[in-house]
Structure 1
Amino acid sequence: MSELSTPPALQRVLVTGAAGFIGFHLCLRLLDLGYAVDGLDNMNTYYEPGLKRARLAQLRNRPGFGWHEMDIADRDGMARLFKQGRYDGVVHLAAQAGVRYSVENPMAYLDSNLAGMLTVLEGCRHNGVQHLVYASSSSVYGAATEMPLRESQNTDHPISLYAASKKANELMAHSYSHLYRFPATGLRFFTVYGPWGRPDMAIFKFVRAVIDGQPIDVYNHGDMLRDFTYVDDVVEAVVRVLGKPPVVVADRVPHQVLNVGNNGPVPLLEFIECIEAATGLPAVKNLLPMQPGDVPKTWADTSALEQGYGLRPHTDLRVGVQRFVDWYRDYYGLPAAKA
């Protein structure tokens, strides 16, 4: 493992969204590396609460893990937490997720994605945080057609409120880094998947439907490509970036954004074939038109991540899908696929 993955000494890190999909995996990894980790989550009911509770139960059994059930939009509560925690680093993952959900429920994004980001920035500003790493999204690229997607491309035309909120997060972080000179890094995640994923994610919905013998909704009639990125690769990226913040120099804002993707788009129908192979069951496809706010293709240029942090996400999609299906069957107590 790269030296960048190993903390120089025991450090205190706050992870928001700790009971969420990526947050859960990240907390486990940081604890394995010797970090003292405080996890924060409001445990909302956006998806089945039992899944969050099951993740949290694993974390609370680990030495070095502290737990705070709190909403990140709680200004006073967050201010107290930062003051008492004296964190060296913060990984801000808490947010209201979902491109399609933002079309249906736009007000849900106001507190979590905007007010919540501001409380985190204020906490970092006032309490000497050495590096803020926060979750952005490939959705900020909107309907860009120039591929692969590079961090230098214009991202001024988001096509969903979720994407707009993530672009706003990048701008807010940049302004605070400029004003208060603290390092911040935004990570543009590309279609993250893996065990313990969210039920609103495509792989979760598809696997559940296939195992239950139900049809799956396939948008744009299957003519879509996605840069599927396995969660372990994402966690490795977060850990490496956390340990190597942008350098603070007089004439440069210590803020950066990085793509975190697999650098290889896969046709949606091929993804479904991987699910069929992993489950041993056929998928019945309900072909539908493109959904509002969705994009036909994502493809991450990850050269900046590779050059700056020595990491190129690489988990093969077939391997990752099989791991998810194995976890799904185990978690829900289902029999293994027939040979």
Structure 2
Amino acid sequence: MRIAVTGGCGFIGSHVVDHLIAAGHEVLSVDTTDKYLNPDAEHARIDILDVPALTSALAGSEVVYHLAAMADVEQVSADPVGAVRANIDGTEAVLEAARRGGLSRTVLASTVWVYGAALTDGQLGGEEEELDEHVPIELEHSGHLYVATKLAAEMLVHSYRELYGQHFTILRFGIPYGPRMRDELVVARFVQAALAGRPITIAGDGRQSRNFVYVEDLADAHVRALSPAAEDRTFALEGSTAVSVRDIAETVDRLFGPVSIEHIDGRKADYTGRRISSAQAKRLLGWSPRTNFADGVRRYADWYRATAAAPTTAG
């Protein structure tokens, strides 16, 4: 099958491209950079907001995975107009190019951050329950602009299904980590600080938790999402165990320490973590995360060391 991946040279997208190629698919990576371009993939260096160029690039593909986005929440806060253009207008452009090109499905990368806007019994005075893909979302509780852009993108996908019959799959990622992740992400910052002998800095009290999911496990879910069972469905791809920021620091200290820890003020509208079920992904796709957190951190560190030691080539 011929498959296009927007953001295919980025952190998650490059791993998705790698796994799709390993599964025997012909892959087109659509990205303005070639940073992590797989040599066995075709490359279209275009801006996804250029709908005519994107439509032409997608010609002949059957499925498009849409991973190109502004994913750094600090960057989203600093540039809200750019975030809306990248995450909402960009999704609209991909959907329209897929419609014009007659692609059979669009697979949208979303996030478990959207569950921060979920209406739950816990908010009504009961015990917080495990949330699934069918929990109601209250838009007035969307919180961070990043969440609002992802919710809007999901709404566009559903609208294209209703209006034009365009099939979709929505994948709500847990907090991803692993080789090629951005230096700003908490696991990367902690590992790099420890390896350099610098203190680890924790925002807030460190009790906020996330269910981190290793990037290779996420990429595996993307290949499985080609199944007909995934058509017109949403899947939460959550890590199996909640890991607090303190836990990350302790893991890094155990693997690469000793390290010292400093505390700073917490971020505004930060995602505090919810109990989210990935049961539907396991039932319909046979997917569940396989990599435990410490192993994933070690693999990232190995990749980071190898990258740092690699000679650079002058341009």
Fold match by TM threshold 0.5: yes
Distance 1:38 1:292, change over 3 A: same
Instruction: Spell out the pairing of 1:76-91 with structure 2 (5 A cutoff).
Output: 76-82=52-58, 85-91=59-65
Structure 1, gaps ≥5 residues long: 1-10, 44-51, 248-254, 335-339
Query: Paired residue for 1:337?
Result: none
> Secondary structure of the equivalent of 2:201?
strand
> Secondary structure of the equivalent of 2:107?
strand
> Secondary structure of the equivalent of 1:332?
helix
Does the aligned pair in 1 maintain the 2:229–2:285 contact within 8 Å? no
TM-score, length of structure 2 as denominator length:
0.90
Aligned with 1:22 (options 12, 21, 30): 12
TM-score, length of structure 1 as denominator length:
0.84
Does the aligned pair in 2 maintain the 1:21–1:196 contact within 8 Å? yes
Which residue identity does 1:135 align to in structure 2? A
What CA distance in whole angstroms lies between the structure 1 residues aligned with 2:234 and 2:272?
Answer: 23
Pair 1:257-2:231 in alignment: no
User: In percent, how many aligned pairs have the same letter?
Assistant: 31
What CA distance in whole angstroms lies between the structure 2 residues aligned with 1:284 and 1:107?
Answer: 38
> Secondary structure of the equivalent of 1:271?
helix
Structure 2, gaps ≥5 residues long: 123-127, 311-315
What CA distance in whole angstroms lies between the structure 1 residues aligned with 2:188 and 2:174?
Answer: 16
Does the aligned pair in 2 maintain the 1:261–1:299 contact within 8 Å? no
Pair 1:311-2:287 in alignment: yes
Number of paired residues?
A: 300
> Secondary structure of the equivalent of 1:151?
coil
Aligned with 1:41 (options 27, 31, 43): 31
What CA distance in whole angstroms lies between the structure 2 residues aligned with 1:224 and 1:318?
Answer: 18
Instruction: Spell out the pairing of 1:136-175 with structure 2 (5 A cutoff).
Output: 136-142=110-116, 146-155=128-137, 156=139, 157-175=141-159
Instruction: Spell out the pairing of 1:53-202 with structure 2 (5 A cutoff).
Output: 53=35, 55-56=36-37, 59-60=38-39, 62=40, 65-82=41-58, 85-142=59-116, 146-155=128-137, 156=139, 157-202=141-186
Pair 1:328-2:304 in alignment: yes
Which deviations, in whole Å up to 9, do the C-alpha atoms of 1:90-137 show, x marking residues without a partner?
A: 111000112232222212212211111111101121222112111001
Report how far residue 217 of structure 1 moved. 2.4
What CA distance in whole angstroms lies between the structure 2 residues aligned with 1:295 and 1:25?
Answer: 25
> Secondary structure of the equivalent of 2:309?
coil
Provide runs of 4+ in structure 1 moved above 6 Å: none
Which deviations, in whole Å up to 9, do the C-alpha atoms of 1:2-30 show, x marking residues without a partner?
A: xxxxxxxxx10000001101111111111
What CA distance in whole angstroms lies between the structure 1 residues aligned with 2:94 and 2:79?
Answer: 23
Query: Paired residue for 1:236?
Result: 220
